[in-house]
Structures are given as structure tokens and as C-alpha cells.
Chains A and B, each alone.
Chain A
Amino acid sequence: MRIARILWLRTAVEVARFTEFRGAILIWMLTLVGGPLILLMVWLRVADSGAHLVYDRSQLVSYFLLTMWSGMLMSVWIGSFVSDEIRLGMLSNRLLRPESPLNGYIANNLGEKVVKIPVLAVLVGLIAFGFRANLHVAGPPAAWLVAVVAVVPGAIINFMIDVVVGSTAFYFSNVNGLLAVRWLAGGLLAGYVAPLALFPDGVRHVLEWLPFRYTVSFPVEIVTTPLPATQIVRGLVVATAYCVVLWIAYRVIWRLGLREYAASGI
């Protein structure tokens, strides 16, 4: 497996590189846990106000603590890298290598996450201690296993959306707006602000068919709601289908886009 060896090596390089950024990674992780933490406190306040939520207090705590994990494990930041490299002509370096231009981006993504895991573990542990009164993480071990598996298609979807949106830079000079739209709207639709169970039914049915849910809340819902087996299977099928569709979109855009690509200044 040549590709596996290449990815392994390049990821190891990225891990070594990112251990140099320990301070920055701590700050990034603080920012990452900040959002779910705020939302958790807000939802607990809603529960205090006598609302009858489908999620009880302990489910809310587990949901938002776990979205910190799913948010990090499926996170992606390469959209602006891809668009900048296309616009500024730096993509040429990647194109000259005898490997997929995505390899470098994938290694960067995996490598940085490896360094983030221990930092996030400490932060989430501290937050969990703060909420220990409501901490009951239940759910059968099998559900946890499926949840971990469900992270994989979610991470691929998120990654490929960024690649596809970023590579529209073959045609447009400024795709930052598009990327911002994807983040802001995607955050809400992904279940970042609330579990899908707390959305109105009509909206929830739509969200189940959009890709965003699979990039944050789906693996978490498997253990916290917990989702019934039929919904888990349907979710995995939908997520896998999106992976395929996005892969095809990437291939098409790059095949056509590379014809437009003129490096820089030429």
C-alpha cells in the first residue's frame, strides 16, 4: 500500500511540526470548547425555566461535552488553504509530486488532530468535572463503537466540502465569503447549537437529509439520544452517499479547474 505509507510518513511529519505549536493549540482548544460550553449553560438555563425538553439535564451535558470531541475530530480548516494556493499559484508544488494533491492536506489534518487529542482530553475532563452532578454517560458499548465509526464519514464529508468549496477558486478570485457562509450556516444545521431532537419536527427531517448533521451531531446522537438502529443505519448510508457525491464533485471540479489554472503571474 504505497498510499498508506505516504500518508503515514507525511502525518508523522505533521505531528512533529505541530508539537511546536503547543501554546497555540491550547488556545485553539479553549476556543473550540468555549462554544459548546456556552450553549450547554444556556440550555441548562432553559431547562431550569421549567421547559419540558426531550433531552434531560444529563443528556444535555453529555451532548455538548461530546460535541467538543466530535467537533474537533471532524474539524477541517483547509478551505482557505486550497483557495489561497490556487489563487497564488502555490498549488504548482503539489501538482509536481507523484501523488494526489490531497495527501498533503490530509496529513496536515490528521497530524494536527493527533496533537490536539491530549490537550482536548484534559480540557473536556476539567469541564466534565465541573458538571459532575449531571454527568451520567450511559448507552451500550456497541453504540459507542458505532459512534466512533460514524466519525469517519463525517470527517470525510467535512473535509471534502472544504476541498470542493475551496477549489471553486479555480473560477472565482475570492471564495472567503462562500467559506464563511458554509461555516456559519453549517454550524446551525450541523446540530452545533442544539441536538436535532430539540429542533421542530419539520426542520429535523430536512436536516437528516443534509450533509451538515453528519459533521457534528450524528455520532453524538447515537449515544446520547440514543438513536434507534434503523436511524443509525439510514444515517450511515446517507453519510456514505455524501462522501461519494463529494468525491465525484472534487474530481470533476479539479479536472476542469486545472485547465483554468495558470499558476501565478503567467
Chain B
Amino acid sequence: MKPSAFLSRHLRVYRRQLITSAVLQLEYRANVVTAILTGAIELAVTVATFQLLYQHSPTVAGWTKADVLVVAGFARILSSMLAFQVTPNMLDLPIKIMKGDLDLVLLRPVSTRFLVSTARMDLPQLLNVAIGAGWASFAVVEAGYRADVPGVLASIWLLSCGILLIYCVWFAISTTGFWLVKVGVIGELFFAVADASAYPVQFFKGAVRTFLTFVVPVAFVTTFPVEALHGRAAWEPLLVAPVLLLVAFACTQGFWRLGLRAYTSASS
């Protein structure tokens, strides 16, 4: 198949998955209110936490309160994007493997990984993405950042790479479901990591900072994009992010194929 035909087929499938999810969720309209309410409270809790932290000191690890309020917005974008598409599918994947439901996906003439990663989308979360982006923009203006075009582009670039990186990490963990039972619960660890994403990575030292930069790379989603908007970005993350992403994609793809080979349908 030509690459363009491959791409357009997958885009069509993605659109269809999106519509299916939308139709399903229109049956549960109250969830929209719940999602926005919890999203707004999460943002409020983060902002209140920063109020507490900064009443004692004007800067922490080189970050002012105005700076970290921008980070809070990016952290909201991250958790909402994860909740939109990553969390539901990554929690479902080990169950599909365990129950043998993967059979139905394997038979389709589209990438299996693509199908299992896009099967469910929690559309109300897109409103939370918008709220996070709105808050981030507001905080950028309040902080008086330059936020020129290269800065904005760089931050969007880092944010996108970072979210895909985190997806890859979670995908690798869910893939272990081919060999282990009950890996779904590991997904809960991501909620703790999402907590850490609300703080600039410089707040942490040593091994924890390395972990948040390279292992579960939330730094690429929150800290680095904000630095880019501030105009004090180092250029390294801009280049490191896509390289890391390519490596992560290739590794998880290999791991996924290994897993598929071990797949024995419902008896696994």
C-alpha cells in the first residue's frame, strides 16, 4: 500500500472512531458536567497549592509564581489529553488481551496498534483541554511572557512530542499484558506521575528529575514548553524530543510485535 493511501485510510478510521465515541457518549450527557467540574476543581486545587507554596518565598528553584501558574495550565492540558484518549484505551488493552477480544481487532485490515490506541475517546475531556489551554494563555499574559511565534511553535512541538512519549511508555506497560495478568492496575501509577507534572521539573533533584525527564517524560509536556514560551528555552529539548519519540516508537513497536507473537487468544 502506498504511504498516502495508508495514511488516508487511518485518518478515515480515526474519524469514524471519533464519531462512534461521540454517539456513545451523547447517551451520557451528564458526564460532560462531571468532567468539567472535576477538571475545574483540579485546576483550582493546583492553583491553591501554588498560593500556599509561594506565600513563603518569591521564587522556588528559579521559578516565580507567575511562571508556575503557566505550568499548571500545561499540566491540565496533559492530564486532559491523557484522559481523552490514552487512559481509556491503555486500561482496556490488557483486558482485551486477557479476554481474547483482541481477535476481533487483529482481523481488521488496519494497524492493530492504531485500532487499540484509538478505540475509545472520552470527548468531554476535550473541553478540559480547552480550559487548560485557556488558563495557560491567561497565565502567559499575566506573567508578561514574550510568547513570540517561534516560542509558541516550540512549545506546541514539545507538548505534542511529550504527550506521544508518555503514550508510548504507557503502551509498553499495557503490552506486558501479553505475559502478565492484571497489569491494568499499573496505570494507576500514572495518576501519581500526573500530579508531579504540575510542578516544574527543577523542583525535583537527582533521580526523580531524571525519571520525570526521560522515563515518564512529563518535563517535555509541562516544563520545557513553558520555558519555550518564556523565551529562555534551551534548544536541546527541541531536538531531543523527536529523537526520543522515534526511539520510543520503534522500541514499543518491537515489543508489541513480540507480544502479538505470544498472543494465544482467550486461552492466554
Contacts and interface: CB of A to CB of B under 8 A. Distances in A.
Interface of A: 23-24, 27-28, 30-31, 34-35, 38, 41-43, 45-46, 48-53, 173-174, 176-177, 180-181, 184-185, 187-188, 193-194, 198-200
Given A23-B185, A38-B192, A193-B52, A181 B59 contact: no
Contacts of A28: 185, 188
Contact of A188 (B38, B48, B196): B48
Nearest to B56: A51
A50 B186 CA distance: 38
A45 B195 contact: no
13 contacts: A27-B185, A27-B188, A31-B191, A34-B192, A34-B195, A41-B208, A42-B53, A42-B199, A42-B203, A177-B30, A185-B45, A188-B49, A198-B56
Contacts of B193: 34
Which of B31, B37, B60, B191 has the most A CB atoms < 10 Å from its CB? B60
Nearest to B55: A200
Contacts of B205: 41, 45
B247 interface: no
Contact of A184 (B41, B186, B196): B41
B17 to A, nearest CB: 24
Contact of B203 (A27, A45, A184, A194): A45
Interface residues of B, number: 34
Nearest to B196: A38
Contacts of B188: 27-28, 31
Nearest to B53: A46
The majority secondary structure among interface residues of chain A is helix
Contacts of B142: none
Contacts of B60: 42, 45-46, 49
Given A31-B191, A42-B203, A50 B57 contact: yes
B234 interface: no
Interface in B46-70: 48-49, 52-53, 55-57, 59-61
A31 B192 contact: yes
A174 B34 contact: yes
A52 B232 CA distance: 29
A181 B37 CA distance: 8
Contacts of B15: none
| CB-CB nearest 10 A-B residue pairs | A34-B192, A51-B57, A177-B34, A51-B56, A180-B38, A49-B57, A184-B41, A24-B185, A27-B185, A49-B60
Contacts of A50: 57
Interface in B183-233: 185-186, 188-189, 191-193, 195-196, 199, 203-205, 208
A45 B61 contact: yes
B86 to A, nearest CB: 17
Given A28-B185, A45-B60, A35 B37 contact: no
B56 A177 contact: no
A27 B37 CA distance: 28
Given A31-B188, A31-B192, A50-B57, 13 more contacts: A27-B186, A27-B189, A28-B185, A34-B193, A42-B53, A42-B199, A43-B53, A48-B61, A52-B56, A185-B41, A188-B48, A193-B45, A193-B52
A41 B53 CA distance: 12
Given A38-B196, A198-B52, A177 B33 contact: yes
Contacts of A38: 192, 195-196, 199
Contact of A180 (B34, B191, B203): B34
B148 interface: no
B41 A30 contact: no
A174 to B, nearest CB: 5
A199 B48 CA distance: 10
B23 to A, nearest CB: 19
Given A181-B37, A185-B41, A200-B55, A49 B61 contact: yes
A72 to B, nearest CB: 14
A195 to B, nearest CB: 10
B35 to A, nearest CB: 9
Given A42-B199, A49-B59, A193-B52, A187 B204 contact: no
Nearest to A187: B45
A38 B105 CA distance: 39
A50 to B, nearest CB: 6
A30 B191 CA distance: 11
B258 to A, nearest CB: 22
B99 interface: no
Given A41-B204, A51-B56, A34 B189 contact: yes
Interface string B26-43: 000011011001100110
A181 B53 contact: no
B37 A180 contact: yes
B182 interface: yes
A46 B56 CA distance: 8
Which of A46, A53, A181 has the most B CB atoms < 10 Å from its CB? A46
